[in-house]
Amino acid sequence: MCESVRISYGDHVNRAVRDLTRHTRRELLVERLAAGQDNRVSALASELGVSAMTIRRDLDDLQKAGVVERHHGGASLAAGALRRRHRRYTLAFIAPMHVYYYGAVRRGAVAAAEQLGARLIHAASGYEEDREQHYLDRIDRLDIDGLVVTPGQRSGEPSVEFREWLSATKLPVVIMERTIAAGVLDPPRDSVSSDHAQGSVLALRHLMDLGHRRITFAATTTATTPALTEGVRLARRELAGLELDHHPGLSALDPGGPGDPIPALLDAAAGHRSTAFFVHSDQVGRALVTELVRRGISVPGQVSV
């Protein structure tokens, strides 16, 4: 069964802890069964400090995975499970970049792989479809057990080549930080993404809590922009007193060049009398702060970004 998961900001930490706790408990269960210790449900529950119902659910899931065999009142390790248990899995992680937002995501993936005893191979596509396809073709030739991938398209649906590869591969794949319309992928794939719309609401509420009412929102066109823009629309409805200056579809950065959008954005914000900015992407934020400081404007003393 395929599942699409959206994680609210802050919730991902709690979910990761819960999942890790469940995984650790089941690892301990298997260790005790492998060591020939008391395999009764009551004894296992007492030793691990959880309810008998929790142990039964864990054993049911482990039985479905072929790790244990259930019997009345307890369980035993399935034939061949010990050998499989000591196999080290190799996972691949492909993101558009390993800096800014994706730097934190990659660090989380590395930490999770270490906790699970898995080997993690990670690569950055640089938003280049040819490089992304090169990595995918290599993965097909390697002994990889699973893939977490963020398609490198800056907007819209993934490339035809990516969709064709995804339809053909037998590898377990989770699509990260991209929303793909129903029916685009055959077969469908699991996906996970941050709730960027809710993130917009939280960001604007935070700025209002700091005392700002006139705020400029600006974003370059990326795969994340539609969700952020939807969040801005929700914030306008939910946050009384918000006066928003909206600049979606900001042109590409050209620092110091004739096409640089930052000076015009600052002029528009001055006309709106904005005292704060909510901007996407990270690069835009850095360029904006650089230009504000160049103009002698204190951040965050006079303006919040």
Largest Cα separation within the chain, whole Å, is 77
Report d(CA 52, CA 58) in Å as an integer: 10
pLDDT tens, per residue, the chain with 305 residues: 455 455 444 444 344 434 446 777 887 888 788 777 678 888 888 888 888 898 898 898 888 877 888 888 888 887 766 555 556 788 999 998 887 888 888 888 888 888 778 889 989 888 888 898 899 988 888 888 899 999 887 766 778 888 888 888 888 899 998 877 767 777 778 888 889 999 999 999 999 999 999 999 999 888 889 999 999 999 999 999 999 999 877 877 766 666 789 999 999 999 999 999 999 988 899 999 999 999 999 999 999 99
What predicted TM-score, i.e. pTM, was given to this entire model? 0.67
Beta bridge partners of 246: 217
What percent of the residues of the chain are helix, what percent strand, and what percent coil, each to the nearest 5? Answer: 45, 20, 35
Residue ranges with strand state E in 221-273:
243-250
Report d(CA 217, CA 213) in Å as an integer: 12
Report d(CA 107, CA 247) in Å as an integer: 32
Are residues 163 and 185 in contact, defined by beta-carbon separation less than 8 angstroms? yes
- Give the distance from CA 243 to its chain's centroid: 31
Are residues 94 and 158 in contact, defined by beta-carbon separation less than 8 angstroms? no
User: Would you state the structure tokens that stand for residue 282, as one six-digit string?
Assistant: 């990270």
Nearest C-alpha neighbor of 151 from the set 169, 171, 131: 131
Domains of the chain in sequence order: 15-84 (1.10.10.10), 88-194 (3.40.50.2300), 197-294 (3.40.50.2300)
Nearest C-alpha neighbor of 199 from the set 167, 169, 177, 230: 230
Cα dist. 256→237, 280, 287, 291 in Å?
37, 19, 10, 10
Report d(CA 49, CA 27) in Å as an integer: 15
Cα dist. 180→7, 158, 174, 176, 193 in Å?
16, 8, 12, 10, 11
